[in-house]
Structure 1
Amino acid sequence: MSANQISLRPAKKTDAWVMSAIHIAAIKALPATLYTEKELFAWRNYRDQPDGSNILKSMKLETCWVAIERDVVIGFASFIVDELIGLYVHPKSQGKGIGRALVQHFCDEATEEGIDEVITTASLYAEGFYLRLGFTAIQRTPHYLRSGIVVPVTKMSKTLATTPKEI
């Protein structure tokens, strides 16, 4: 992936529908090996069609960034201060370094704020991805989906090389 092929920018309200579509597509592409079909369906909020309303609610609380390729949103990340809340890349765009770029942006933002450690809660599918990016597994923990279904996830952290924030 070259810098000319992908760019990152803050998400806009008009991105919510496509972000929802990416969320659904990414989860639909997962095999039912680590989670059941029922759990995967609940994870995508029982949706087969995009609905940006949940994402719009999240955008009020979280910082959301999107990855753009040829003027098309192909992935997004959301975070609050030192915690990466969500990271999704459309299945057709996976394996191109987009998720890595979004995580790096999150880490860079945290570093600029003087944060020396970040955390995330990784699905069992994403655990290896985060390990390759320098995260460490802390513990397996239950994650409560909006539906009330509980799925296992891995709490992870990464120590950052901090640069003191200028005063």
Structure 2
Amino acid sequence: MSANKISLRPADEKDGWALSAIHIAAIKALPATFYTEKELLAWRNHRNQPDAANILKNMKLESLWVAVEGDIVMGFTSFVVDELIGLYVHPKYQGQGIGRALVEHFCHRASDRGIDKVITTASLYAEGFYLKLGFTAIQRTPHYLRNGLFVPVTKMSKILNIPEGIV
């Protein structure tokens, strides 16, 4: 499988279980190097099993896009206007260009709206990934998890090329 075989589409309510499963699996696959086991557990909302209702309640469908091959949801991203809020790819599909395709889709949509700079808040694990995609680290900052814990993250930005005719 390669990124050429995947397609991107807006998420819908039927994707809730897959989104939750990807979110949990992606975080469970992380080693406890940058964050403790307790922080990683809090990051996935203390869940070991997917919960479609919970993830759909916490993320707005209008800003969710999924990467699919056939009927298989392999990853997703959440964004609003100029901010990439979340990006998760199931560990089984990581390293195949899916994350890159989702980030590029977000950047193209922002650029098409005349936005010249986008931002994201990257986990310490994802910082290198975003640097490879042309993002620049701005600063380390705390990110508060739902249970009151906070973890260090990196605010990042990327300058976009605006298409001709849009200003």
Do the structures match in fold with TM over 0.5? yes
Quick check: 34-43 or 55-64, which moved more?
55-64
1:54-75 residue CA offsets vs partner (Å, 9 max, x unmatched): 3212443751000002320000
- What amino acid is the match of 1:24? I
Normalising by structure 1, we get a TM-score of: 0.94
Give the alignment of 1:44-83 within 5 angstroms.
44-60=44-60, 63-83=63-83
Alignment correspondent of 1:95: 95
- In structure 2, list runs of 5 or more residues that go unmatched: none
CA distance in 2, matches of 1:39, 1:59: 20
CA distance in 1, matches of 2:156, 2:165: 25
CA contact (8 A) 2:3 2:101 kept: no
Structure 2 Cα separation of the partners of residues 2 and 68 of structure 1: 10
Report the RMSD for the aligned CA atoms in angstroms. 1.5
In 2, Cα distance between equivalents of 1:147 and 1:62 = 26
State the Cα deviation string for residues 128-157 of structure 1 (Å, max 9, x = none): 000000000000000001111100000000
1:42 alignment partner in structure 2: 42
Q: TM-score, normalised by structure 2?
A: 0.94
Aligned counterpart, 1:19: 19
Is contact 1:114-1:165 (8 Å) kept? no
- 1:105 corresponds in structure 2 to 105
Instruction: Give the structure 2 partner of residue 132 of structure 1.
Output: 132
Identity %: 72
- Indicate the larger mover: 157-166 or 28-37: 157-166
Counterpart-to-counterpart distance in 2, 1:20 and 1:72: 14
How many Å separate the matches in 1 of 2:71 and 2:13?
16
C-alpha distance in structure 2 between counterparts of 1:34 and 1:72, whole Å: 30
Please say if residues 114 and 164 of structure 1, whose CA atoms lie closer than 8 Å, have aligned partners that are also in contact: no
Residues 9 and 67 in structure 1, CA contact (< 8 A), matched pair in contact too: yes
* In structure 1, C-alpha distance between the alignment counterparts of 2:74 and 2:30, rounded to whole Å: 17
Deviations 1:85-110 (A, max 9, x none): 00000000000000000000000000
Distance in 2, matches of 1:111 and 1:91, equals 29
Which secondary structure does the structure 2 equivalent of 1:114 belong to?
Answer: coil
Aligned partners of 1:13 and 1:77: how far apart in 2? 15
Supply the distance in 2 between the matched residues of 1:130 and 1:154 (Cα, whole angstroms). 10
Gapped runs of 5+ residues in structure 1?
Answer: none
CA distance in 2 between partners of 1:2 and 1:156 (Å) = 24
